[in-house]
Amino acid sequence: MKPVVSLLVLFVFLQSCKKKSVDILIINGKVYDGINVKATGNAIAIIGDQIAEFGNIDTTKIEAKRIIDASGMIVSPGFIDPHTHADRELVKKEESHNKPFLYQGITTVITGNDGESVYPISKFKTICETNGIGTNVVPLTGHGTLRDVSGIGTLENPSEEQITKMKALLIQELENGAFGMSTGLFYSPGSFSSTEEVIELSKIVKSFNGIYDSHIRDESSYTVGLEKAIDEVIEIGKRAQLPVHISHIKCLGSDVWMLSDSLISKIKKAQSEGINITANQYPYRASATGLKSALIPKWAQSGGMDSLKHRLNQPVLRKKVLDGITKNIKRRGGGVSLVMIKAYDDSLLFKNLSDIATSYNLSESEMTVKLVLGGFIRIASFNMTPHDIHNFMKQKWVVTGSDGNTGHPRKYGSFPKKFREFVKEKQILSLGQFIVHSTSKTAEIFNILNRGSIKVKNKADIIIFDPERFTDKATFDNPFVLSEGLKYSIINGKLSLEKGKFTNQLNGKFLTRN
């Protein structure tokens, strides 16, 4: 061999011996990639904020700055939570770590839910980037917020000029990165809008490839009824031709219990006709909402608090309001099943409406009025059946969500609870199905690119949990307890949780569409 050739051979040989250098190497884990329901590898290599290799890696050819031994552990893409209300905390520097979600394995939260968002999104982004955020954020813009900002508020028939203004605001928010628009058609001011108004706005969302996400007009039998409210979502999807998503799907209250079978058929029929309709669900039998929204009749809420007080001061109207409240209490399973979880007065906390009314020697409806006039109260309302919960959970188009607002344990426990109760104990879903429906499926629905699955070049949002210990700890009596059993959380390639402890690093990114 000529000397030049042998030098070349030596060079090539040395190159092939040189180890590949990576930042983090996860080994010995059972890796679920978020797409397949079976584990498909045991190792992941991370360089910078990206997944560099995945599968059954020959670790002898890799030099890692840090090795994480995941023996006995489940490795999964970080969970994506589609319905969080987390913007309320993310704007506060002392709470932007987002720990209640982080400890559940959530690495991305979708905000701006139920029609309510931080306005404008550009300001929200600046606040998040200035303070730092513990998880990634995917913002939606809220229809109710747009109504308020454009001066429409609770008007049932906004002027052409006001509608034009609202459309311009929507375009601005979509241009600034909103992934879509949410509505809270059950809540004021969304409840005062027509389907036509929502369709007009949804057509704009469609032109930006965004999604329509809704807390539907009625999850029970308050106004149009649950079935008609689902029909409305389908109609919006059909006429505005955009993907539509039902948040926290449920059959709320005895009037609509066991309707899940017929609702699922209805939704599947719409899907077969080409409408892209999906939903999210939290794994609890109790919902949570404002005492006022839950119990005061809609007509009596029109015009706000002053109008409500005015009505209560007129004997005939007062009786009508009280009758409506009585009906609503019955619809939600009686005063015993309505528990105060956030209140202006701490002494009310964790008591049910029935006991509070007895202690004041008032009827439950009179007590409700007194409480609503006293200040803001949020209730947990035990109003769902296991049949309907299981039925929805098994659907391919239903993903895990927390609807994490303060006072309900779901904010701290939804994902681990679903794993503990519905994967391990009741075996409604397999582990792989649970992971797919908490990661890649959600990313696909909300069009979040390069996240939600373990793939080379995807962003390195990865969690490692102990299947023996991963569980929720928050309860209705003690809702502010972090979940347990999550060993590592890696967000954008950096460690946020290490050996079960928060690293004090705020590794989240504010994501914008495209």
- Cβ-closest residue to Zn ion? 215
From the CB of 403, what's the least distance to Zn ion, in Å?
A: 6
CB of 115 to Zn ion, least distance (A): 9
Q: What is the DSSP string of 358-392?
A: HHHT--HHHHHHHHHHH--EEEEEE---HHHHHHH
Q: Which one, 114 or 218, has the nearer CB to Zn ion?
A: 114
DSSP conformation class of 345? S
C-alpha span between 362 and 366 (Å, rounded): 6
Closest CB to Zn ion among 52 and 106? 106
Q: Which is nearer to Zn ion, 215 or 459 (CB)?
A: 215
DSSP 203-223: HHHHHTT-EEEEE-S-SSSSS
Q: Which is nearer to Zn ion, 76 or 113 (CB)?
A: 113
Alpha helices in 255-363 (DSSP H): 260-272, 291-295, 298-301, 305-312, 315-331, 353-360
**Dist CA 343 CA 476 (whole Å):** 14
Q: How far apart are CA 473 and CA 482, in angstroms?
A: 6
Q: How far is the CB of 80 from Zn ion (least distance, A)?
A: 18
Looking at the DSSP assignment, which residues form a beta bridge with residue 244? 212, 277
Torsion of CA 47, 50, 54, 58, to 10 degrees: -10
| Nearest-approach distance from CB 411 to Zn ion, in angstroms | 13
- 410 binds Zn ion per the rule CB under 5 A: no
Nearer Cβ to Zn ion (33/114): 114
- The two tokens of residue 388 are 């309907």
Beta strands in 36-118 (DSSP E): 43-47, 50-55, 62-69, 74-77, 79-81, 106-111
User: What is the x/- site pattern for Zn ion, positions 153-192, by CB under 5 A?
Assistant: ----------------------------------------
Interface segment toward Zn ion; rule CB under 5 A; list 74-82, 133-141, 207-215, 301-309:
207-215
As measured in angstroms, the least distance from the Cβ of 220 to Zn ion is 13
CB 40 → Zn ion: shortest distance, Å? 35
Compare residues 30 and 215 and give the one whose CB is closer to Zn ion. Answer: 215
Nearest to 72 by CA among 469, 490, 489, 473: 469
Q: In the bound complex, what is the minimum distance in angstroms from residue 186's beta carbon to Zn ion?
A: 7
Name the residue nearer to Zn ion (CB basis): 183 or 458. Answer: 183
Q: How far is CA 139 from CA 107, 108, 177, 510, in A?
A: 14, 10, 8, 8
What is the smallest separation between the CB atom of 147 and Zn ion, expressed in angstroms? Answer: 16
> Of 31-39, 119-127, 211-219, 292-300, which segment contacts Zn ion by CB under 5 A?
211-219
Least Å distance between CB 414 and Zn ion? 14
Nearest-10 crossing angle of helices 315-331, 364-374? 100
Q: Which is nearer to Zn ion, 83 or 97 (CB)?
A: 83
Closest contact distance (angstroms) between CB of 287 and Zn ion is 9
Q: In sequence order, which residues have a C-beta less than 8 Å from that of residue 17 and are 6 or more positions away? A: none
Cβ distance to Zn ion smaller for residue 114 or 197: 114
Minimum separation from the CB atom of position 468 to Zn ion (A):
33
Stretch that binds Zn ion, among 120-128, 170-178, 210-218, 418-426 (CB under 5 A): 210-218
The count of residues interacting with Zn ion (CB under 5 A) is: 2
- First-to-last C-alpha distance (Å) of the chain: 55
Sole binder of Zn ion in the list 30, 125, 143, 215 (CB under 5 A): 215
Q: Are the C-beta atoms of 498 and 433 separated by less than 8 Å? A: no
Contacting residue, 114, 197, 364, 461, with Zn ion by CB under 5 A: 114
Per CB under 5 A, contacts with Zn ion among 4-63 are none
Q: Which is nearer to Zn ion, 215 or 331 (CB)?
A: 215
Question: Is the CB of 215 or the CB of 292 nearer to Zn ion?
Answer: 215
Question: Strand 211-215 and strand 180-184: pairing?
Answer: parallel
Whether 288 and 297 have beta carbons less than 8 Å apart is answered as no
Window contacting Zn ion (CB under 5 A); options: 129-137, 142-150, 214-222, 410-418: 214-222
My answer on whether omega of the bond before 158 falls inside 30° of 0, hence cis, is: no
Q: Which residues bind Zn ion (CB under 5 A)?
A: 114, 215
